[in-house]
C-alpha cells in the first residue's frame, strides 16, 4: 500500500493487516535483503490520519504469504 498516495488524494482512514516494520523483521529473520525503499510508519508519512492496524490476529497468515513470496 502506498500511504503517501492515499494521504495525498485524501482518501481518509487507513486500515492495514501488517506493517512494514513486521515485514522488515521477517525478512531479516529469513536472511532476505531489506526492501530497496525506506520503511516508514504510516503516521510518519501521513501525520494526523486515522490509522488502524496492524491486525495481529492475521500476522501468521501474512507472514506465511510473504514467506511463500520470498522462498518460491
Give pLDDT tens digits for 56-68: 999 999 999 999 9
Q: Are 6 and 46 in contact (CB under 8 A)?
A: yes
CA geometry: angle 25, 54, 24, nearest 5 deg: 15
Q: Quote the pTM value.
A: 0.80
Reported as a single tens digit per residue, the pLDDT across 11-62 is 999 999 999 889 999 999 999 998 888 888 999 999 999 999 999 999 999 9
Map residue 14 onto helix, strand or coil: strand
pLDDT at 1 over 80: no
Within 13 Å of residue 20, how many CA atoms lie on the same side as its CB?
A: 15
Report angle CA 43, 25, 57 to the nearest 5 degrees: 70
Amino acid at each position: 500500500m502506498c500511504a503517501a498516495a492515499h494521504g495525498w488524494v485524501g482518501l481518509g482512514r487507513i486500515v492495514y493487516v501488517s506493517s512494514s516494520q513486521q515485514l522488515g523483521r521477517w525478512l531479516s529473520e529469513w536472511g532476505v535483503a531489506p526492501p530497496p525503499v525506506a520503511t516508514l510508519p504510516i503516521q510518519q508519512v501521513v501525520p494526523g490520519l486515522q490509522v488502524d492496524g496492524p491486525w495481529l490476529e492475521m500476522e501468521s497468515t501474512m507472514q506465511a504469504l510473504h514467506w511463500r513470496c520470498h522462498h518460491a
